[in-house]
């Protein structure tokens, strides 16, 4: 297995999109248009604006097993992301303390093998080199990934109701305070 960034790879974007769809909580779409709008809302901004922060776990055959999309400064990204993602600013009062954020997805056939952990550790290592002080992930309160993030040192920082969903901001300091 090899970890590379999107900007340093020859990966076909459709592989990343397929993993995104495979791991999404939404598994059926009324139309292809609806499916592509979903991808465009949640994935495309990261691929287009921050390819250097898209980490790929590549199989020895070159296929993508998992990926992490990230952003170093959530406040700076708000103009790009908040028009697409209505809930983006729900936790904006924590963006100064935990400026970076991530999304990580691994194909179901490779989950439980440590790929998500390796992707996150790679991202954290690069953030620390750039002295980014904190990192967050937002998830739903009933999500199975909460224990995964906790094992990696994330803590629940805040919980808020957004429309009908209870969301958690899970954060991690990258340097001792």
Q: What is the DSSP letter of 158?
A: E
d(CA 177, CA 175): 6
Structure tokens of 36?
Answer: 């592509």
Which residues share a beta bridge with 102? 70
Whether residue 116 has pLDDT greater than 70: yes
**Domains (ranges, CATH) in the chain?**
2-173 (3.40.630.30)
pLDDT number for residue 113: 94
Average pLDDT on 86-112 reads 96
| Location of structure tokens 């990926």 | 67
pLDDT score at 176: 73
Which of the four pLDDT bands, split at 50, 70 and 90, describes residue 45? very high
Tokens of 9: 């790879």
Rounded mean pLDDT of the chain? 94
Q: Structure tokens of 168?
A: 């958690």
According to the per-residue pLDDT averaged within each range, which of 4-8, 81-85, 98-102, 110-114 is highest? 98-102
Report the distance separating Cα 10 and Cα 107, nearest Å: 19
Q: Is the pLDDT of residue 177 over 70?
A: no
């Amino acid at each position: 297995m090899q970890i590379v960034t999107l900007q340093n790879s020859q990966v076909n974007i459709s592989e990343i999109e397929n993993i995104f769809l495979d791991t999404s909580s939404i598994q059926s779409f009324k139309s292809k248009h609806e499916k592509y709008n979903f991808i465009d809302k949640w994935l495309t901004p990261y691929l287009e604006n921050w390819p250097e922060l898209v980490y790929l776990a590549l199989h020895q055959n070159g296929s993508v097993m998992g990926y992490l999309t990230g952003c170093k400064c959530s406040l700076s990204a708000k103009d790009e992301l908040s028009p697409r993602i209505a809930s983006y600013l729900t936790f904006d009062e924590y963006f100064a303390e935990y400026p970076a954020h991530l999304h990580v997805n691994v194909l179901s056939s490779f989950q439980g093998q440590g790929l998500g952990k390796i992707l996150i550790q790679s991202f954290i290592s690069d953030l620390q080199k750039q002295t980014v002080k904190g990192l967050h992930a937002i998830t739903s309160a009933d999500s199975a990934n909460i224990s995964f993030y906790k094992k990696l040192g994330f803590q629940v920082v805040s919980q808020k109701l957004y429309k009908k969903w209870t969301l958690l901001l899970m954060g991690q300091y990258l340097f001792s305070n």
